[in-house]
């Protein structure tokens, strides 16, 4: 029987794998980037490094991590840390591209552009999350349970509101967040932002 449990040190490789297998608007992103490690280093591993207390996984009955939710309670503070402490470690491995010629360039431009106040949603909904589930877990209620688990942990720390950003191409995810009662808020091209009070 699968179960939700807190993140544990040692889960990082499994989290990066789930991220890769769901990174292309919910589909497998294997082969999309030249360096597949980039997905995890931008979208999941900084969260468990900075806020392991707000990271939860779905562990299958055979001990595999097949889904996760990670969060940051204060988006402005997290993005400041990402820009000043996390991302500079990768400058030699992944230099800032001169322009966006490839999908990898686009991810790198996003990573280099992160910083406190870049996105306005954290001003009214300070926490944000990333969630990914392998197809074997989808449609069974695990996504709702993961978000509820994280929301409870954030609420217990006095966090009042939460937001997330989804690819506008990920129609399944957009419908899922609608069903969970998230509110769609004005967003820039290519993404849809959802927000809700806790």
- Residue 70: CATH number of its domain: 3.40.630.30
* Residue 132 belongs to domain spanning: 3-197
Distance CA 37, CA 49 (A): 16
Q: How many domains does the chain have?
A: 1
pLDDT in tens, 149-187: 999 999 999 999 999 999 888 888 899 999 999 999 988
Q: Where are the beta strands (DSSP E) in the chain?
A: 3-6, 55-59, 65-72, 127-133, 161-167, 183-185, 191-197
pLDDT in tens, 105-162: 999 999 999 998 888 888 899 999 999 999 999 889 999 999 999 999 999 999 999 9
The residue with tokens 């990768």 is: 90
pLDDT in tens, 15-59: 999 999 999 988 999 999 999 999 999 999 999 999 999 999 999
């Amino acid at each position: 029987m699968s179960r939700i449990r807190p993140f544990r040190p040692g889960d990082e490789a499994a989290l990066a794998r789930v991220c890769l297998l769901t990174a292309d608007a919910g589909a497998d992103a294997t082969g999309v980037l030249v360096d597949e490690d980039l997905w995890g280093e931008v979208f999941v591993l900084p969260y468990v490094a900075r806020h392991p207390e707000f990271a939860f996984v779905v562990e299958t009955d055979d001990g595999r991590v097949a889904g996760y939710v990670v969060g940051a309670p204060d988006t402005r503070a997290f993005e400041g840390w990402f820009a000043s402490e996390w991302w500079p470690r990768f400058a030699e491995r992944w230099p800032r591209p001169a322009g966006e010629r490839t999908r990898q360039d686009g991810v790198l431009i996003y990573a280099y552009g992160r910083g406190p106040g870049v996105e306005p949603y954290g001003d009214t909904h300070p926490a944000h999350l990333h969630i990914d589930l392998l197809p074997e877990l989808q449609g069974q209620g695990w996504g709702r349970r993961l978000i509820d688990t994280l929301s409870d942990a954030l609420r217990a720390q006095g966090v009042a509101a939460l937001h997330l950003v989804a690819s506008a191409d990920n129609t399944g995810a957009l419908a899922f967040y609608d069903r969970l009662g998230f509110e769609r808020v004005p967003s820039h091209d290519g993404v849809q932002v959802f927000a809700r009070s806790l």
